[in-house]
Amino acid sequence: MSDEASQKPTRRTVLRGGAAVGAALTVGHHLPAPAANATPTAGTTRPISLTVNGRHVTPAIDPRTSLLDALRDEMGITGPKKGCNQGACGACTVLLDGRRVLSCLTFAVMHEKQEITTIEGIADGDSLHPVQQAFIDHDAFQCGFCTSGQIVSAVGLLADEPGIAKDRIPEAMSGNLCRCAAYCNIRDAIESASAAMARQR
């Protein structure tokens, strides 16, 4: 499935196009209008220099643009999801110099000297990260919306606490909500990934 390969407008291009495109297609009013709560992007834009998934990028943005909006709207890196946009759901989790943070609660301009890692940068080429593989093996998702944040958060957790005890995982992961409530499988996947990573070491 590739949005870019399709000739028809996709959900993502409709979202990117905003309300005008949505209205023309008459389906737009069902979709969240990105302009409503997006950070400003006009008026005081200036290029900034970011390192995302090892790549150097220089989007021109307003300094009040959240890291999440910069990733999604300016760089097309849509792995981090905009769930609540207020720090409650964890769907926008990324790694900042290896530590998990919420990209909706920080401005992109503040991270010019840091390594930003999203779900797109977690795998090693075609070889999945042990946490990604474990999520598949344990069926640790249903709708998938929270999954990129869950996986990135789990990667950050296992870097902080390798070999974390199974009964500690739910609290350590409770910054990531799953409205499908796949929590038990998420916990099992992380425990399994932790063991797999210990074997690799």
Partner 1 sequence: MEPFQYIRARDVGEAIRVLADNPTAAVIAGGTDLTTLIRDGIRRPSHLIDINGLDLAEVSARPDGGLRIGALCRNAVSDKRIERNFPVLAEALRSGASPQIRNRATFGGNLLQRVRCPYYRVPEFACNRRDPGSGCAALSGDSSRQAILGTSGACVAVHPSDCAVALQALDAEILVRGPRGERRIPIDALHRLPGRTPAEEVTLRRDELILAVELPPRASSERSHYVKFRDRASYAFSLASAAVAVELRGGRIRSSRISLGGVAPKPWRAEAAERALNGRPLDKDAIDAAAKAATNGAAPRPDNTYKVSLAREVVRQALTELKGD
Binding-site ranges for partner 1 (CB under 8 A): 37, 39-40, 42-44, 62-64, 66, 85-87, 90, 93, 96, 99-102, 104-107, 109-110, 153, 156-157, 160, 172, 174-177
Minimum CB separation from partner 1 for residue 191, in Å?
Answer: 17
CB-nearer residue toward partner 1: 151 or 157: 157
Minimum CB separation from partner 1 for residue 136, in Å?
Answer: 23
CB-nearer residue toward partner 1: 148 or 176: 176
C-alpha distances in Å from residue 15, one per residue of 4, 27, 60, 71, 120: 14, 11, 20, 15, 20
Minimum CB separation from partner 1 for residue 31, in Å?
Answer: 20
Collect contacts of 45-49 with beta carbons under 8 A, ≥24 apart. 48/108, 48/109, 48/112, 49/112
Q: Packing angle between helix 130-137 and helix 147-160, nearest 10 degrees?
A: 130
C-alpha distances in Å from residue 93, one per residue of 21, 46, 60, 80, 184: 29, 25, 22, 6, 20
| Tokens 């090892």, located at residue | 54
CB-nearer residue toward partner 1: 9 or 175: 175
Minimum CB separation from partner 1 for residue 9, in Å?
Answer: 28
Would you list the DSSP string of 19-31?
A: HHHHHHHT-GGGS
Minimum CB separation from partner 1 for residue 39, in Å?
Answer: 6
- Locate 39 and state its tokens: 């950070």
CB-nearer residue toward partner 1: 132 or 176: 176
Would you say 116 and 51 are in contact if contact means Cβ atoms under 8 Å apart? Answer: yes
CB-nearer residue toward partner 1: 6 or 174: 174
CA gap 119, 151 in Å, rounded: 7
Minimum CB separation from partner 1 for residue 66, in Å?
Answer: 6
CB-nearer residue toward partner 1: 21 or 105: 105
